[in-house]
Amino acid sequence: MEASKGSARQERPVLRHSSLTGGSFIQDHQQYKPATPISQNISDVRRTTGDSPSPRMFNINPISPDPSKVTESGIVHSIFPKSPNPLPAGTPKLVATIFYKSAQPVHPNLHPDSSAASRSGDRLPSPSVPVGSAPTVDIEKLPREPPAPEPEPLDHLYGPFVSQLCLTSFLQILEGLHTPYQRINSSHRCLDQEEQPRVVEVTVSPLPNPEYLSFEDLRKHENIWRFEREWNVEVVLQKESVFRRYKRLAVFDMDSTLIQNEVIDEIAKFVGVEKEVAAITARAMNGELDFSASLKARVSLLKGVPADVFEKLKSIITISPGARELCRGLKALGCKLAVLSGGFQPLAEWLAGELGLDYAFANHLEIDPETQTLTGNLVPSYPIIDAAQKRSLLRTLAAENSIPIKQTLAVGDGANDLLMLHEAGLGVAWRGKTKVQLEAPTRLNGENLTDILYLLGLSEEEIKELVATEK
């Protein structure tokens, strides 16, 4: 706050461009700056000629201000070299990874202000229930009033990326959650690119007082949900620690996660019961049916299917975008990898070979040795891979490899994945069913599974380097 002698009062600052690589982008958004402190002392004032007073006497303050009492005005989030809000060493930190949803606009049509194809009289779509915000997206089935109108799609106004104003809004929301009020310190970095970033990592301290707002409630806070809707982003909140950045065990669901297919639905096509099986599968994955009972019901419909059906299915299985790169990158970091699937063992083992996984656990279908067809039953000597068994396998694999549970990662999309998602150090619902998005610790709905690596604090350049080392 020091200034040269006699300098004039600064004018109101103008919003200007600044890099998002760090430093104080919020300083660019301050509305006012304090006057330049006056450094003359009383000797300067009295140093005049003759009896006539100096013209300077009417334009200066004869009292030198105390520099320690000259502070910045406006909103300050303490991203400055010398923080005005020092915190004790070891203060817990919160890491928020913000993903811009470039492939999933809030509204299906572009905002009239930014689209030549839209006319000024065009109206935005009627309010709807966003996927993941309620147990059903059918407004008629909701036991409450219809949802309020959608928030203004601000990304259409300020840019289809994580903008400076987007970050400023997010930090203001976090600061407002402290009870009693406490000013926060924050820093940020772009993980993919400096200009118009899609992924930005924000570190904030301290966390809100857990007596007023627990970390679990913070993750699902209404204000953060509204911020995601307004700016068309997804926010993943984690507590900063060495275990956040260094995972040693990663477990994955198979169907609709590592692969885009639901295997049991594909098998059902062979006997013409696809619709019946698919309906049961959808209800089971959304938590509307008990998984074990629904699995047995679906398997019973597969009676008579040739046992070589799994060999035929390999040619139509579609591995999810980014699955190979994600597994390759995690292996390069030294992680043990496993697939824990409510599907079937032959394809789980095949997928493990394709992706370089260390373990494969799935359900075993009983085969008639005479006819070499499926009997419609599960092999009774093997446990059903349901929600409880997936969590148990996660614990067992971690213990066998002497890995703390905090250093584990779990990824899945169905209701039978929820227990392992909550058990793991980081549980991610990847393009999850509606119930799973509501209940999972974190969720992502991107297009490429490598987005999960950003949650470990890796940059795009580091991800490319990791993926390249294992080729």
The residue extents of the domains of the chain are: 71-76+91-102+153-240, 249-468
3-state secondary structure of 199: strand
Write the class of the CATH domain 71-76+91-102+153-240: alpha beta
Over residues 67-91, the pLDDT tens digits come to 555 454 444 444 444 555 567 778 8
Give 97's pLDDT tier (boundaries 50, 70, 90): very high
Give 31's pLDDT tier (boundaries 50, 70, 90): very low
Mean pLDDT computed over 34-46? 52
DSSP state of 36: P
**Cα distance between residue 402 and residue 398, in whole Å:** 6
Structure tokens at 147: 């949802």
Which one of the listed residues 192, 255, 386, 451 is annotated catalytic? 255
**Interacting residues of 12 by C-beta distance below 8 A, sequence separation 6+:** 31, 32, 33
* Ramachandran assignment for 43, one of left (phi > 0), alpha (psi -120 to 50 degrees), beta (any other): alpha
One-letter amino acid for residue 396 of the chain: T
**Cα distance between residue 156 and residue 102, in whole Å:** 11
Whole-number pLDDT of residue 106 = 56
* Ramachandran assignment for 287, one of left (phi > 0), alpha (psi -120 to 50 degrees), beta (any other): left
Structure tokens at 297: 């019901």
User: Which of 35-44, 52-61, 327-336 reaches the highest mean pLDDT?
Assistant: 327-336
Mean pLDDT computed over 170-188? 90
Closest residue by Cα to residue 259 from 336, 358, 343: 343
One-letter amino acid for residue 416 of the chain: N
CB 452 within 8 A of CB 335: no
CA 125, distance to chain mean position in Å, is: 26
**Cα distance between residue 171 and residue 107, in whole Å:** 25
- Domain 71-76+91-102+153-240 matches domain 249-468 at the CATH topology level: no
* Alpha-carbon distances of 243 from 7, 249, 273, rounded to whole Å: 51, 11, 46
Whole-number pLDDT of residue 1 = 45
Mean pLDDT computed over 223-241? 93
**Cα distance between residue 32 and residue 29, in whole Å:** 9
Q: What is the CATH number of domain 249-468?
A: 3.40.50.1000
Which one of the listed residues 155, 192, 253, 265 is annotated catalytic? 253
**Interacting residues of 145 by C-beta distance below 8 A, sequence separation 6+:** none
> Is 253 designated active site?
yes
Over residues 263-289, the pLDDT tens digits come to 988 888 877 888 888 888 878 777 777
pTM to 2 decimal places: 0.76
**Cα distance between residue 302 and residue 373, in whole Å:** 9
Whole-number pLDDT of residue 149 = 59
pLDDT for 437 beyond 70: yes
Whole-number pLDDT of residue 139 = 59
> Is 122 designated active site?
no
**Phi, psi dihedrals of residue 273, rounded to the nearest 5°:** -120, 30
Lowest mean pLDDT among 76-90, 208-222, 352-366, 454-468: 76-90
* Gyration radius of the chain over CA positions: 29
Higher pLDDT, 339 or 124: 339
User: What sign does the CA torsion over 16, 20, 23, 25 have?
Assistant: positive
One-letter amino acid for residue 102 of the chain: S
**Cα distance between residue 228 and residue 220, in whole Å:** 11
Lowest mean pLDDT among 49-53, 139-143, 257-261, 403-407: 49-53
